[in-house]
Structure 1
Amino acid sequence: MDFLYIKALHIIFVVTWFAGLFYIVRLFIYQTEAETKLEPAKSILQTQYKLMSKRLWYIITWPSAILASIFAFWMLYQNPSYLQEPWMLVKLAFVLALYFYHGFCQDIYNKLQKDIVKYSAFKLRVFNEISTIILFAIVFLVTIKSAINWIWGVIGIILFGILMMLGIKLYKRIREKKSWEKAESEILEEE
């Protein structure tokens, strides 16, 4: 098969892999937040999120990870000189980090399927940003093809990550304030 076709298939499955990783953690957040709902809403939501997670995880995310890897190994087999490039070695380190992230998601998935909630919605929101940072690092490395210049990209990613964390905290405060104001207005209405 022509190298460019293999590369295109690799990129397609990398995109769907990341899409699955981004969305699975959102489903974890929703499932965790459903824990605070009253019955029957809690049971209905939990059942639906478990089903959605299972389909996403085993029909899209895992197959995409495997196919992205197969096409990556195929490209490296056709062009082994890439392994001598420093930027490629750094990229492969980030890909390894992505596999650890994927494995951690698998652990969270397994626990939530058994109704074991270990992490708060806030911690999951922060955790969700790790895959974004890895994506930025890999794209910068592949585009710039420099083992040194990627450092500036990663510094930018870390700053971007810090801004995202601050945004998450601000969003949490706004939600808490609205919840507090709603509860306060309900109490005043009862009086």
Structure 2
Amino acid sequence: MYLWIQALHLISVVTWFAALFYLPRLFVYHALSEDQISRDRFKIMERKLYRGIMTPSMIAVLVFGFWLLYLNPGLMKSGWMHAKLTLVFLLIGYHHVCLAYMKKFERDANTKSHVFYRWFNEAPVVILIAVVCLAVVKPF
């Protein structure tokens, strides 16, 4: 059963990261949009992505991840796991910052440029690299 839960955890991680990469990319295009029809379309796309894929994926990551820790509590004695969980906590924060930006776009109150969102889009990449290295290499 452990391997099935691990597989479901990894599938959830992949879908969550896909959404974490795509939503800020939508913000880039939304910030560049000049007509109301485009802005309204981006609002729908962002809302559906956030509520339909991103949040359920995050919840699944957490459920399956904590289930794995419950089945193998010895993992909590590893420093790499504490570092990984810290990064997951930061990702949850990033997830919620995305929601705040999405709500600003919904109100047509965005003040950030497309360049800002291009840089903002890089944060989950750095975290993904660190999490994968920690989980595979287990350096400490």
Range class of TM-score, shorter chain? over 0.9
Give the aligned residue type for 1:65.
M
In structure 2, what is the Cα distance between the partners aligned to 1:59 and 1:28?
A: 17
2:43 to 50, 55, 59: 50
Deviation at 1:137, TM superposition (A): 0.3
Q: TM-score, normalised by structure 2?
A: 0.98
| Structure 2 unmatched runs, 5+ | none
Deviation at 1:138, TM superposition (A): 0.1
| Structure 1 unmatched runs, 5+ | 148-191
The number of aligned residues is 140
Deviation at 1:67, TM superposition (A): 0.6
Deviation at 1:118, TM superposition (A): 2.2
Name the SS for the 1:117 alignment partner: coil
Deviation at 1:131, TM superposition (A): 0.5
Question: Bigger relative contact order, structure 1 or 2, given CA contacts below 8 A and separation 6+?
Answer: 2
Pairing 1:79-158 to 2, within 5 Å after superposition:
79-147=72-140
In structure 1, what is the Cα distance between the partners aligned to 2:111 and 2:136?
A: 38
Q: For each residue in 1:127-176, what CA deviation from the matched residue of structure 2 results, as whole angstroms up to 9, or x when unmatched?
A: 110000000000000010113xxxxxxxxxxxxxxxxxxxxxxxxxxxxx
In structure 1, what is the Cα distance between the partners aligned to 2:132 and 2:29?
A: 29
Where does residue 26 of structure 2 map in the other structure? Answer: 27
Q: What is the RMSD of the two structures over their aligned residues, measured on CA atoms?
A: 0.7
Runs of at least 4 residues of structure 1 off by over 3 A?
none
Q: For each residue in 1:54-87, what CA deviation from the matched residue of structure 2 results, as whole angstroms up to 9, or x when unmatched?
A: 1111000000000110000000000000000111
Alignment of 1:67 with 2:60, yes or no, is: yes
In structure 1, what is the Cα distance between the partners aligned to 2:48 and 2:93?
A: 21
Alignment of 1:12 with 2:11, yes or no, is: yes
Deviation at 1:26, TM superposition (A): 0.7
In structure 2, what is the Cα distance between the partners aligned to 1:20 and 1:78?
A: 28
Q: Which has the larger radius of gyration?
A: 1
Q: TM-score, normalised by structure 1?
A: 0.72
